Amino acid sequence: MTAPITRRDLIGTSAAAAALPMPSLADAPAPAAPAAPAVAALTINGQVHRVAIDQRTSLLDALREHIGLTGTKKGCDHGSCGACTVHVDNKRVLACLVLAHRVEGRAVTTIEGLAQGDTLHPMQAAFLAHDGYQCGYCTPGQIMSAVSLVEEGHTQSEAEIAEWMSGNLCRCGAYTNIRAAIQDAARAKRA
């Protein structure tokens, strides 16, 4: 880990800095000191959580390690698997590629926020009814993605569902049942 760099260091006199034309930062807001974790007020499932986290913290780690919401899963941590899918302002995104501090002021929904009390969200119920999983590890991400998919309207055919669910991998290969669950939930919603 390198030493923390302050704003003064960046404006100041280092040799590397002197080699480039140095712009003034006068009209730029001051950055927070990097070393100290800064408090982020994160709105998760309608509730505000204040957490002291480093600027580098991903939304995924903030949820799991700092807020204790472990429903959102870490598969690859690199944007490849979809296990960490959550909604930010009603759009599906990958929590492992989001810096937590950047979603302050936005509405984050995780798998824990779908059910109304003891009543499952229709997509959760459809996954249950169709056995849309085996080990269940990819399931929260699949369901969050599937809820958005129905909102987006990409459920006209099984092929369309497959294409628009391609960002969610399932190592157990439960794809057939996952697609059946989504088709069912989409049909129920249209009806």
Ligand X SMILES: Cc1cc2nc3c(=O)[nH]c(=O)nc-3n(C[C@H](O)[C@H](O)[C@H](O)COP(=O)(O)OP(=O)(O)OC[C@H]3O[C@@H](n4cnc5c(N)ncnc54)[C@H](O)[C@@H]3O)c2cc1C
Residues lying near ligand FES in the complex (CB under 6 A): 74-77, 79-84, 94, 96, 133-139, 170-172, 174
Q: 89, 87, 85, 88: which is closest to 74 by C-alpha? A: 85
> Binder to another protein among 109, 124, 142, 145 (CB under 8 A)?
145
Contact 82, 142 (CB under 8 A): yes
Q: At what angle do helices 139-152 and 122-130 cross, to 10 degrees?
A: 120
**Closest CB 184 distance from ligand X, rounded Å:** 28
Contacts of 177 (CB under 8 A, 6+ apart): 130, 131, 132, 133
What residues from 24 to 43 belong to the interface with another protein (CB under 8 A)?
Answer: 24-25, 27-35
CB nearer to another protein: give 79 or 129. Answer: 79
Give the gyration radius of the chain's Cα atoms.
21
Q: Does 71 bind another protein (CB under 8 A)?
A: no
**Under rule CB under 8 A, residue 115 binds another protein:** no
* Least distance to ligand X, CB of residue 159, Å: 19
Distance in Å, CB of 149 to ligand FES, minimum: 16
| Least distance between ligand X and beta carbon 58 (Å) | 13
The binder of another protein chosen from 131, 136, 163, 187 (CB under 8 A): 163
Q: Which residue, 99 or 125, has its beta carbon nearer to another protein?
A: 99
75 binds another protein (CB under 8 A): no
Q: Which is nearer to another protein, 60 or 126 (CB)?
A: 60
The residues of the shown chain that bind ligand X, judged by CB under 6 A, are 79-80
- Is 171 a residue that touches another protein (CB under 8 A)? no
Range list of H helices, the chain: 7-11, 15-19, 59-61, 122-130, 139-152, 158-164, 175-190
* Phi and psi, residue 77, nearest 5°: 65, 15
At residue 38, the 3 state secondary structure works out as strand
Residue 149 and residue 68: Cα distance in Å, rounded?
27
| Smallest distance from another protein to CB 166, Å | 4
- Could you give the dihedral angle defined by the CA atoms of residues 115, 121, 124 and 130, in that order, rounded to the nearest 10 degrees? 150
